[in-house]
Amino acid sequence: MKNIILSFDLDNTLINNREGIVNSFNYALKQFNLPEMNNNEIQRMIGTPLDEMFQKVSNLNPKLLSSSFREYYGAKGIFQANLLPGIKEKLQELKKNSYVLGIITSKKQEMAIRITKYLEIFEFFDYIIGESDEIKSKLDPNLPNLMEKKYHKHKIIVIGDHPKDRALAEKLNAPFIGVLTGHHTANELTHEIKVKFIILPSVKELTVKNISSLLEN
């Protein structure tokens, strides 16, 4: 199992950071005298790159809004997060089974590292990939090459709550485990999917048997 990578999304897959994201998003809107949005509207967009989130709600330069978002998030929003139920115990179990664990997120890489350290799960992961100078988004065309270069003898499985995670699995030609801890249904997660998949209620239900079933020919 040491040659099997389990690559997780972060928000709504491993952590509940909805409060921090909603507060940061509305903080940014207020800085530019834009009307605040309700919680559900913002939460439905979680998992989408930040600039894209703001492009959906305003004609302002999204980078200005994203900068204000990160101002609040870095100071306060990051500390309004918690682990989803059973996550730490599941990561411990998977690590004991010699899986390689990683994170690929739409967050800024530095923020993803900070929040995993704050929630005391950083030590479980061999890599944390987020938005950076090298990788611009979760679906960056350079990402498959990066993963192949670093882990060319490994088999990868992508785990997440968002259709972009399914798209990432397809880009990496990897099986997909969809979890229902976000705002997307099983149908949304598997619509016209092109790779092997299973759907689970949450990461907590992930088992060695689930994983093995996706790697069988």
**Which amino acid, one-letter code, is at 211?**
I
Cα–Cα distances in Å, from 2 out to 7, 129, 212? 13, 20, 13
Residue 217 has pLDDT above 80, yes or no: no
116 CB-near residues (< 8 Å, 6+ apart): 10, 103, 122, 125, 128
**Residue 156, helix vs strand vs coil:** strand
Show the 3-state SS of 129-163.
EEECCCCCCCCCCCHHHHHHHHCCCCEEEEEECCH
pLDDT of residue 136: 86
In the predicted model, what is the mean pLDDT of residues 82-109?
96
Give the integer Cα–Cα distance in Å for 115 and 122: 8
Average pLDDT, the chain: 94
Give the integer Cα–Cα distance in Å for 18 and 174: 28
Residue 1 has pLDDT above 70, yes or no: no
In the predicted model, what is the mean pLDDT of residues 111-132?
96
Give the integer Cα–Cα distance in Å for 64 and 59: 11
Q: How many CB atoms are located within 10 Å of the residue 74 CB?
A: 15
Residue 75 has pLDDT above 90, yes or no: yes
> Which tens digits make up the pLDDT trace of 152-199?
889 999 999 999 999 999 999 999 999 999 999 999 999 999 999 999
* 18-80 maps to CATH 3.40.109.10: no
Model pTM score: 0.91
User: Rounded to an integer, what is the distance from CA 41 to the centroid of its chain?
Assistant: 18
Rg (CA), the chain: 17
Domain positions in the chain are 4-15+82-215, 18-80
> Which tens digits make up the pLDDT trace of 11-59?
999 999 999 999 999 999 999 999 999 999 999 898 888 999 999 999 9
CATH for 4-15+82-215 is: 3.40.50.1000
In the predicted model, what is the mean pLDDT of residues 89-99?
97
Give the integer Cα–Cα distance in Å for 10 and 47: 9
